[in-house]
């Protein structure tokens, strides 16, 4: 039986006051993209017909993040104002859901660690429920505010009690609700209008739908997650750090399995959306940002930083305390020590000496530099962009190449400002 959801609803309206940030919680950065972007990826990987994102705090900024995923599925935003609980968040979606939204999965914009395998199990369990629902649960060491799963004498899920409404006996239960559900759409839209806010928090709880389904003799199946880390809901900066570390380990493991030698994973930081070829070595304390592409048999670090938009071709080497930003490094070219390469295009087998700076920014505009195949840039050189260095040319140590200069192929330039010293093929300049 096909268990793919028709609709995914992502709850992303909260402010997240415990984050101590002016930005909406779901916009917090996490390994190269926002937390919400990770959840949008979760949703789209399920292959739904459409995704509904419930927005509220900083709605326009959240919509912009949603817009970066446009075209991958039908995605729309619904405003929840004020934010009166998870049940209310689904209630404001009722006009968008319609009478029969098909199978509906509910996700949260602050739960970036759920795996595709876990969500597939959730959807498959709902399909096995005979028209009921399924939800994700776990047994964490520290429940920290989760609602508790109350089961019937036969072991079936009977209801969910939020921690603030729970007695001491219910708080002692180990199994908790993660708030991630898969519902049969017609039942969900029929039950949502009947939710009430008769509870300590005076909010409309989506958890109350579970008890109403059981009262209608619908089965609600619990999918227990063994991996507690997937249950991390980010409410504080400490939680964000936990989530970042867990996601980082997954990213590093993927590259290791693909044949990338990462010398010390504990001090290596690689964002999502980074491509690295087989046989490349990453030395300790290196940072590689989203959007970087690295070829095969390259060498990175230690203490290197590769920023977005940079491309390294096969066999390139970026060494100690070198930063590369929006630059293309040709095959077997190298910058081994204390250099900044910004908006640079290097050909093949180029040598960049220690202390070299590509001065790409004049305070208003960023300009490019191009260095031809086989060129040698001596230590301590400064290229004030825009600059072109021809194939096989040499810049002597400490040379300052001023803006709009063109160093012809094969020439040697030295000095401040740099001027031609001689041609490699024709001897000294007159």
Dump pLDDT digits (tens) for 224-276.
Answer: 998 888 888 888 899 999 999 999 999 999 999 999 999 999 999 999 999 99
Q: What is the per-residue pLDDT for 424?
A: 54
pLDDT exceeds cutoff 90 at 131 = no
* CATH (residue range 252-428): 2.160.10.10
Q: Give percent of the chain above pLDDT 90.
A: 73
Nearest to 37 by CA among 68, 8, 15, 60: 68
pLDDT for the residue numbered 203: 87
- Band of pLDDT at residue 346, cut at 50, 70 and 90: very high
Instruction: Find out whether 37 and 243 touch, Cβ atoms under 8 Å.
Output: no
Q: How far apart are CA 402 and CA 405, in angstroms?
A: 6
Q: Is the pLDDT score of 72 beyond 90? A: no
Which CATH fold topology does 7-231 show? Answer: Spore Coat Polysaccharide Biosynthesis Protein SpsA; Chain A (3.90.550)
Residue 334 near residue 359 (C-beta atoms within 8 A): no
* Strand-pair category, 411-414 with 419-423: antiparallel
Query: Token digits for 102?
Result: 């098909």
**Where are the domain boundaries for CATH 3.90.550.10 in the chain?**
7-231
pTM attached to this predicted model: 0.90
User: What is the average pLDDT score of the chain?
Assistant: 92
Does residue 18 carry a pLDDT above 80? no
**By mean pLDDT, which of 10-19, 54-63, 210-219, 309-318 is the weakest?**
10-19
**Residues of CATH 2.160.10.10 domain(s) within the chain?**
252-428
Output DSSP code: residue 192: G
How far apart are alpha carbons 189 and 95 in whole angstroms? 10
- Of residues 116, 255, 272, 337, which has the active-site annotation? 337
What is the pLDDT at residue 426? 53
The reply to whether 57 belongs to the active site is: no
Average pLDDT over residues 149-174: 87
- Distance between CA atoms of 233 and 330, rounded to whole angstroms? 43
Nearest to 289 by CA among 6, 33, 14: 33
């Amino acid at each position: 039986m096909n268990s793919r959801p028709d609709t995914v609803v992502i709850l992303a309206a909260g402010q997240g006051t415990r984050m101590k940030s002016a930005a909406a919680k779901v916009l917090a950065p996490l390994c190269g993209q926002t937390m919400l972007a990770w959840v949008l990826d979760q949703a789209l990987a399920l292959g739904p017909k459409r995704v509904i994102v419930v927005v509220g705090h900083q709605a326009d900024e959240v919509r912009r993040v949603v817009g970066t995923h446009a075209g991958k599925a039908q995605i729309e935003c619904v405003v929840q104002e004020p934010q009166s609980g998870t049940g209310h968040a689904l209630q404001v979606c009722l006009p968008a859901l319609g009478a029969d939204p098909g199978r509906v999965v509910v996700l949260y914009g602050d739960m970036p660690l759920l795996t595709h395998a876990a969500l597939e199990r959730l959807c498959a369990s709902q399909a096995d429920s005979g028209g009921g629902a399924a939800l994700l649960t776990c047994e964490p060491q520290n429940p920290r505010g989760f609602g508790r799963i109350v089961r019937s004498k036969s072991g079936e899920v009977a209801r969910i009690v939020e921690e603030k409404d729970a007695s001491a006996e219910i708080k002692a239960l180990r199994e908790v609700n993660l708030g991630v559900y898969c519902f049969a759409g017609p039942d969900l839209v029929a039950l949502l209008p009947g939710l009430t806010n008769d509870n300590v928090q005076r909010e409309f709880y989506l958890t109350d739908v579970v008890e109403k389904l059981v009262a209608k003799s619908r089965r609600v199946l619990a999918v227990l997650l063994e991996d507690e880390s997937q249950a991390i809901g980010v409410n504080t900066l400490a939680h964000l750090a936990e989530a970042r570390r867990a996601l980082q380990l997954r990213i590093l493991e993927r590259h290791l399995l693909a044949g990338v030698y990462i010398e010390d994973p504990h001090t290596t930081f690689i964002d999502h959306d980074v491509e690295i070829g087989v046989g490349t070595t990453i030395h300790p304390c290196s940072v590689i940002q989203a959007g970087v592409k690295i070829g095969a048999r390259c060498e990175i670090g230690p203490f290197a930083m590769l920023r977005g938009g940079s491309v390294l071709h096969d066999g390139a080497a970026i060494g100690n305390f070198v930063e590369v930003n929006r630059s293309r490094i040709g095959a077997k070219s190298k910058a081994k020590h204390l250099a900044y390469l910004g908006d640079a295009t290097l050909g093949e087998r180029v040598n960049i000496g220690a202390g070299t700076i590509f001065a790409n920014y004049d305070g208003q505009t960023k300009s490019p530099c191009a260095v031809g195949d086989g060129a040698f840039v001596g230590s301590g050189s400064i290229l004030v962009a825009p600059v072109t260095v021809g194939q096989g040319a040499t810049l002597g140590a400490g040379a300052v190449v001023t803006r709009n200069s063109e160093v012809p192929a094969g020439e040697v330039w030295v000095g401040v400002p740099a001027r031609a010293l001689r041609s490699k093929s024709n001897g000294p300049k007159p």
